[in-house]
Amino acid sequence: MGTRDRILDAAAGLMRERGVTRTTTKEIAKAAGLSEAALYKHFTDKTELLLHVLRERMPGFARVDARPGDGSVAGTIAELTRATLDFYLQTLPMLGSLLAEPQLMAAQREAMRKYGAGPEHVVRRFADYLRAERDLGRIAADADPDAAGALLAGACFQQAFLKYFAEGPAAKPVPDETVTALSATLIRALGVRG
């Protein structure tokens, strides 16, 4: 395993266990068996490291191949729903501590903007996919992709939160029945064709 992968694995483990706010780059480097200077050869700062952990070590919708016009819209929506539920369930313990620290949240928000990142990208990814499918005529012409994206992302976040709240860090994935119910409801509302 390469140095960069060791850093990402150590960061993912510590951030999930302790939260982003209580995990330092020094602790991450130590857990990876490296110096802090070695960590900074691979990542500019803790925010960049966090973004790579989220993209590369967490399940997520970024890994779903959602190409408009390919496959079925219903199948892609179900895949995006499952991936987003899994992503939120894994990242809640990492990022939840930011909510209790307004100054840290503000700093994190600014740092993420520097990288063109943030939670709004989940909604945007859904909306962009749905807009493209609407333009292809595969969902109803009067469908609102932005509202549908917000509804799906919000429902996924809420279901992941409830699961984590009920079961804690060892929470099992949100049941497939929930994925089916959420995606089927959206599919009907969007007037998915075919």
**Tell me: the pLDDT tens digits for 43-82?**
998 888 988 888 888 777 667 788 999 999 999 999 999 9
| Total-model pTM | 0.85
CA dist 152 and 28 (Å) reads 34
Q: Identify the residue with better confidence: 39 or 112.
A: 39
Q: Where are the domains of the chain?
A: 3-54, 59-190
The residue type at 184: A
Residue 6 confidence (pLDDT): 94
Instruction: Give the dihedral of Cα atoms 35, 41, 44, 46; nearest 10 deg.
Output: -30
CA dist 138 and 68 (Å) reads 9
Residue 194 confidence (pLDDT): 65
Residue 150 confidence (pLDDT): 95
Helix and strand numbers (H, E) in the chain are: 9, 0
Mean pLDDT, the chain, as a whole number? 90
Q: In this model, does residue 166 exceed pLDDT 70? A: yes
Residue reference for tokens 């497939």:
176
Number of neighbours of residue 43 by Cβ within 10 angstroms = 20
Residue 61 confidence (pLDDT): 62
The pLDDT confidence band at residue 117, using thresholds 50, 70 and 90, is: confident
Residue 109 confidence (pLDDT): 85
CA dist 109 and 104 (Å) reads 8
Residue 12 confidence (pLDDT): 92
Domain spanning 3-54: which CATH class is it, in words?
Answer: mainly alpha
CA dist 115 and 117 (Å) reads 5
**Of all residues in the chain, what percent carry a pLDDT higher than 90?**
63
Work out the average pLDDT over 8-23.
90
Fold of 59-190: Tetracycline Repressor; domain 2 (1.10.357)
